[in-house]
Amino acid sequence: MTRHEERERLVPHLFIGHSGAVFVVSGLECGSCVYMVQHQLSQTPGIAEVEVLQGLEGYASVSYDPKLVSEHQIAQAVREAPGLHGTPYIA
């Protein structure tokens, strides 16, 4: 699977009134990193759905309510995930 195909597969399912974004997350080195990022994002107010995958690159596919949380705040939540030494950016 190419990077483009992998990214397209991750486009979040959107709920009514929600936006979606796919973040590339560098530094996802193991399943624990994936779990910590997913847990951190799922605890963030305004995020409706999140899926984190460790593929060719780490990805976080996020469906969120833009009235409650911004992409900047989502990226900050990833940065604050315990044990992660990576950096998120919009794919």
Per-residue confidence (pLDDT) for residue 11, from 0 to 100: 53
Q: Which parts of the chain have pLDDT scores under 50?
A: 14
Name every residue whose Cβ is closer than 8 Å to that of residue 59 and which is 6 or more positions away in sequence.
6, 7, 10, 22, 23, 24, 25, 52, 53, 91
What φ, ψ does residue 10 adopt, rounded to 5°?
Answer: -90, -5
The amino acid at residue 26 is S
Give the global pTM. 0.73
